[in-house]
Amino acid sequence: MDFFAQQARVRGSSRRLVALFVLAVVAIVTAIDAVVWFTMGHHPAPGEPASSNLPLLFASSLAVLAGIGFSSLFRIMSLSGGGKAVAESVGGVPVPVDTRDPQLRQLRNVIEEVAIASGVPVPDIYLMADEPGINAFAAGYSPSDAAVCVTQGCLDNLSRDELQGVVAHEFSHVLNGDMRLNIRLMGLLFGILVLSVVGRQVIWFGGGRSNRRDGGGGQVWMIGLALIVVGYIGYFFGRLIQAAVARSRESLADASAVQFTRQTDGIAGALKKIAILSEGSELQAVRKHEVAHMLFGESEPFNALFATHPPLLERIRALEPGFREEELARLAASMQQAAAAPPAATTTPKPGGPSGMPGMAMPPVLPAVLAGAAAAAGSPTAAAGFQRAAAVHQSMPAALSEAVKQPESALAVMLALALSLQAELQPAQRRIVADAFGDDVQQVVQTMVGEVEALPPIARLPLVAMAFPVLKQLSDGRQQTLLDTLDALVKVDGRVDLNEYCLARLLRLQLQEARQPRRTPIDGLKKLPACRDSVILVCTVVAAAGCSDEASARRAWLLAMQNAFPGEAIEWTPPPAAWQAPFERALDDLDGLMPMAKELVIQSLARAIDADGMVSVEEAELLRVICASLHCPVPA
């Protein structure tokens, strides 16, 4: 199973969510209308003319629908800040980019490496410091505004491999489009459950006053009982919706973590520790029910009806088919012995250099059937993708790694990345930087030029990914000035270098989405023939970028066309000299494709790139930018 099939599943989950939500609303409206009719409706005595209750019931239904609708809208709007807003709503605190705490530093390193490997910007990182249970979640509208939040229990109880497995599980939600659905679900559940909250308050205060006044009137008692029933209807349907939407996606996320890390021990070990430790994965946060469908594990003791995850043993056996429950007791005993033994000195081996072809794009987190992922885990080169990401992470000069931890110095690094190596262009570029940001920033940029020149080419965009969390902290005006300056630097010589274009396009796309996360495009509905010209142009640009002569570019382009439009006779046309503007319009057009059509486009581009049997850094960067523009992961 791949990313695009999972996108179709998410769309199916959205339809199921809407159906269950409508069913819940109908049940609540019906229950309240029945109470209103019984307590306030006209019930004529024998011989008395009947009077219609329809206006009363219509007003009651309208009031309930308005209450649910406005409550849901209010909650969704309160989460318009994306992943950051969700993490802070459950007590998460930001993990500083420059933290020196060993546990937090390890957490940041793991998340940064997973982000590099998956081709997405590093998310905001949050910690629930008062939660001893092992749990985590990812939230946001898109990878550009995502936040990953873990509990203190993860840091205290998990090894690095286990933490890596949990983080990979959460990143699968980032890439598979689950996060936007999760935020919508939070809003809809709030709309359903808010009536029960109001009902409890009315019972508490109204019932108390009635008891003091007349010993508890029957009418107040009846209304109170009705509100309790309606409250439980809302609670029942709300929890049922969470369970229905979340369970299948959690199983897929477990498989994705294995596919990504290429080993089952990490995530399986984390699940076993949840089963062994008394805290398990439980949370103490007041709003834990709102995020129950996002979490790595259950937020409270397992309940088969309302469980948002498959049972723990079922999840473990899916990862390790031969696992038996008795093994948990042995593991618990070994953990106790390890805790009692004096700590042994350990060394962390450095990962080897990047394997495979130079410039090969980092593999993404792609959902896979577990059997295939487990088989891959046993191969000699299984962990190569993640090792490449770790190697790229470690290859970055220390000065640049430190610089991207602060907003202003990260801004200077981005400008230094856009500077040309041609001496005759540098004076004009220095003037552009000085005019935009002042002489002080221009001088800082110049001091970083040497470090940027020493940066391995394959590490350019990963460095941008690492800088992204602090670049988002810049004011909107300063972000826009940065983007405008990058465009000016790129065009200073009248032509656009491919590497410079990729840098400017990627930053502009991700910063704009981070500023307005709710406006991030959702899955389109267009089919491939509707975007035929855009597909042809994008494939033409990619083929020309990866080949040194037109004949080779034409052969690569033909391979892409045969994959995208088999049997059609399409004439090759070299890309125009001013290709950037039509190329960007084509990318925006392709972003409106339905998921399976996007898959065909990415497969076609991969055919063109692989036509000569090698993948250059330029091709890898261009493909990464195209995939970011289409909101899908880089192909493995």
Instruction: Quick: pLDDT tens for 303-322.
Output: 767 788 888 898 899 888 88
Supply the pLDDT for residue 299.
87
**Averaged pLDDT, groups of 10, the chain, 636 residues long:** 50 64 81 79 58 78 85 82 87 92 94 85 94 93 90 95 92 76 78 68 56 50 65 73 75 76 86 92 87 87 78 89 88 80 51 33 31 34 59 86 93 93 88 94 92 89 92 94 92 80 91 81 82 95 90 94 92 89 93 88 93 86 90 72
Distance separating alpha carbons of residues 310 and 187, to the nearest angstrom: 24
Q: What is the CA radius of gyration of the chain?
A: 28
Nearest to 307 by CA among 295, 323, 325, 324: 295
Distance separating alpha carbons of residues 301 and 604, to the nearest angstrom: 48
Supply the pLDDT for residue 348.
44
DSSP secondary-structure letter at 593?
B
Supply the pLDDT for residue 140.
87
> Would the CA dihedral through 338, 344, 347, 349 be positive or negative?
negative
Supply the pLDDT for residue 224.
60
Q: Could you give the residue numbers annotated as active site?
A: 170
Supply the pLDDT for residue 381.
37
Paired tokens of 477:
């005006």
Distance separating alpha carbons of residues 89 and 294, to the nearest angstrom: 13
Supply the pLDDT for residue 199.
61
602 contacts 635 by C-beta, under 8 angstroms: yes
Residue whose entry in the numeric block shows the structure tokens 């010589």: 493
Burial of 626 by CB count in 10 Å (0-12 exposed, 13-18 middle, 19+ buried)? buried
Nearest to 89 by CA among 99, 76, 101: 76
Distance separating alpha carbons of residues 541 and 386, to the nearest angstrom: 29
Supply the pLDDT for residue 525.
82
Secondary-structure breakdown of the chain: helix, strand, coil percentages, each rounded to the nearest 5 = 70, 5, 30
pLDDT digits (tens, 9 = 90+) for 8-62: 555 555 566 677 778 878 888 888 888 778 777 656 656 555 556 788 888 888 9
- Alpha-carbon separation of residue 446 from 8, 420, 432, 531, 562 (angstroms): 48, 12, 13, 43, 47
Paired tokens of 196:
């029960």
Supply the pLDDT for residue 3.
46
